[in-house]
A and B are shown apart, each in its own frame.
Chain A
């Protein structure tokens, strides 16, 4: 029995799967009314830990703001950056955040296109994660600029100076790509929420009601609206997928088009994209566990879904590991002596700890996901997913810092350069900023897609009936059942 009810019947698969007893993604006792109730409750009364998370994020963010203001007023020098070490943690963390965003798109767009229905309870927050990580990444573009008050010079627009940005610069591509990606992600997130916002509107009072009313754009759940919605949503999804791939490819060109040893690598675009998906997936696992607990989403964020997520993460981790090893191997048997020296320096030099830390966290740790206990113990899984992301952050760190530390020109090598507290403060602040935004989002908007979970429940029920009655007609879902307007 395919999960796919209103699409295309896939008889052979159905036949095959008949013999595989499948755990259902959602429990049998989830009904529509319950969905609305659970999700809407998340907008009102989360567990107290929500406030702990929110306020510690706020505090972290405030510290980051303080650091940034300090840096803004005194100059970038407070970050202890110097002539070869021009980028420091800012660009490393920028890539990290950009990367984080990609999995949201993977879940919401790619899996939507291929009709993988298990994504439905978790794609909404993943998409939100994409949006907010992009916002955070965009912040780093600003933070790292020496004159951030002139940031608009990078944007192509007609102006009284008659100047244009330099279109050959990967940074301009970056700015364009991120801008497009952010806009599209935001739009995609918002579009997907419209039917749910209508539910919220119908259940809210006062200012919230006004907000939802404004945002739900008069959604009534008519056939015509559903029809248009589905087409638009699918179109967006198709548009977003290549965009996501291009964004991190472009970010990788920041390095790949440069001369620096260790950066001048042709395999960088896929390597970066996979790295992005990898860190994103582990980020989703983290948030999965957090949200599940904080908003009491146990019924929707279930073990079978998590299991699929973990499988996907593991697969991506392996491809990324492969690409990473490929990079080392090509450097090893290549003829670029400087790049070789750079690789050796990464592994044995001042930043060896970070290098081997990355190897351990991002290459070795994924294998723990093979252990059933790990997959089923949420605390352990939470820690492991965080470790994976630490590994991915270290990966970005060791792309940038050791290369600057030992570049082509020996006179300007730096030994043991280390960022100042201001950089750490801003990096920490960015985590606060993201968490704060994300938590606020979950508090204000439904972080689980109600209408799609309802679809899921309906399909599961149909499946159940199909199992019982072997009734092929059940594949045609009654349109009315998909209406989201009523509670």
Chain B
């Protein structure tokens, strides 16, 4: 893990609490609601066994270097892309490569000529095995068959554009924090690994929170609450 990102980790800290599951938010509730909720839960305790477990970390994998639980499996990619080099060491903005994130539903895997744009000019690393592979694909004009790491169910519509616009452009949060809400601190990984639950409750936990509308403004609003916003 690269130094100097302590601020980010702090930034992440409260996010992670919210992400920490279903019961995490209750302490913010009013007393009456809390009692009511507990009563309900007690009443329905017997049916709890039927609940899909809220997988917090589980047996899959160890902790990532920044302390998150790895929730998804290690995904082997055709090229072991070092996010830590690009986003971590060199502090390249995520959107430099994932350029569609701010204007489309999908963030998009960078097009191949994007990689070549830089790597054609970086003579120093051309003999590295990973870069060699990259050149191989480029010369064959073959797209790289990346594996999806954050693959939401098919009935879910997640819009990268709106989240980036809101938190990066409007609220002016750091890009690593903005992306990191859902993707974890990718700057500390090589190939990405899923570290957030990305379950419905997890999404809602954030949508129910009040967020500043703009940087410098004190007006807050929470995320939309309509089923059809995310379900298609």
| Direct A–B touching, Cβ under 8 Å | yes
Q: Please list the residues of chain A having a beta carbon within 8 angstroms of any beta carbon in chain B.
A: 152, 155-163
- Interface residues in B79-132 by Cβ distance below 8 A to A read none
Q: Please list the residues of chain B having a beta carbon within 8 angstroms of any beta carbon in chain A.
A: 22, 40-41, 44, 47-48, 50-54, 197, 199-202, 204-205
CB of B199 within 8 A of CB of A157, answer: no
CB of A155 within 8 A of CB of B199, answer: no
CB contacts (< 8 Å) of A162 on chain B: these are: 22, 200-201, 204-205
In whole angstroms, how far apart are the Cα atoms of A478 and B53 in the complex? Answer: 56
In whole angstroms, how far apart are the Cα atoms of A155 and B47 in the complex? Answer: 8
Can you identify 21 A-B contacts, CB atoms within 8 angstroms?
A152-B47, A155-B47, A156-B40, A156-B47, A157-B44, A157-B47, A158-B44, A158-B48, A159-B22, A159-B51, A159-B52, A160-B22, A160-B52, A160-B54, A160-B197, A160-B199, A160-B200, A162-B22, A162-B201, A162-B205, A163-B200
Give B197's nearest chain A residue, CB to CB. A160
CB contacts (< 8 Å) of B51 on chain A: these are: 157-160
CB of A160 within 8 A of CB of B201, answer: yes
In whole angstroms, how far apart are the Cα atoms of A152 and B47 in the complex? Answer: 9
CB contacts (< 8 Å) of A161 on chain B: these are: 52, 199-201
Give B202's nearest chain A residue, CB to CB. A160
CB contacts (< 8 Å) of B47 on chain A: these are: 152, 155-157
Nearest chain B CB to A399's CB is how many angstroms away? 31
Nearest chain B CB to A456's CB is how many angstroms away? 37
In whole angstroms, how far apart are the Cα atoms of A163 and B227 in the complex? Answer: 11
Nearest chain A CB to B156's CB is how many angstroms away? 12
CB of B41 within 8 A of CB of A158, answer: yes
In whole angstroms, how far apart are the Cα atoms of A156 and B44 in the complex? Answer: 7
CB contacts (< 8 Å) of A160 on chain B: these are: 22, 51-54, 197, 199-202
CB contacts (< 8 Å) of B201 on chain A: these are: 159-162
CB contacts (< 8 Å) of A152 on chain B: these are: 47, 50
List 14 extra interface pairs beyond A160-B199, A161-B200, A162-B205, CB under 8 A: A155-B44, A155-B47, A157-B44, A158-B40, A158-B41, A158-B44, A159-B52, A160-B51, A160-B52, A160-B54, A160-B201, A161-B52, A161-B199, A163-B200
Give B51's nearest chain A residue, CB to CB. A159
CB of A157 within 8 A of CB of B200, answer: no
In whole angstroms, how far apart are the Cα atoms of A158 and B205 in the complex? Answer: 14
In whole angstroms, how far apart are the Cα atoms of A156 and B40 in the complex? Answer: 9
CB of B50 within 8 A of CB of A157, answer: yes
Q: A157 with B22: in contact, given A162-B200, A162-B201, A163-B200 (CB under 8 Å)?
A: no
CB of B200 within 8 A of CB of A155, answer: no
In whole angstroms, how far apart are the Cα atoms of A159 and B47 in the complex? Answer: 11
CB contacts (< 8 Å) of A155 on chain B: these are: 44, 47, 50
CB contacts (< 8 Å) of B197 on chain A: these are: 160
In whole angstroms, how far apart are the Cα atoms of A160 and B53 in the complex? Answer: 7
In whole angstroms, how far apart are the Cα atoms of A159 and B51 in the complex? Answer: 6
CB contacts (< 8 Å) of B200 on chain A: these are: 160-163
CB contacts (< 8 Å) of A158 on chain B: these are: 22, 40-41, 44, 48, 51
In whole angstroms, how far apart are the Cα atoms of A152 and B49 in the complex? Answer: 11
In whole angstroms, how far apart are the Cα atoms of A162 and B54 in the complex? Answer: 11
In whole angstroms, how far apart are the Cα atoms of A152 and B44 in the complex? Answer: 13
In whole angstroms, how far apart are the Cα atoms of A47 and B187 in the complex? Answer: 78
Give B47's nearest chain A residue, CB to CB. A157
Give A162's nearest chain B residue, CB to CB. B201
Nearest chain A CB to B155's CB is how many angstroms away? 13
The 3 lowest CB-CB distance pairs between A and B, nearest first, are A162-B201, A161-B200, A160-B54
Nearest chain B CB to A466's CB is how many angstroms away? 49
Give A183's nearest chain B residue, CB to CB. B46
CB contacts (< 8 Å) of A159 on chain B: these are: 22, 51-52, 201
Across the interface, A157 reaches (CB within 8 A) one of B48, B53, B205, namely B48
Give A164's nearest chain B residue, CB to CB. B40
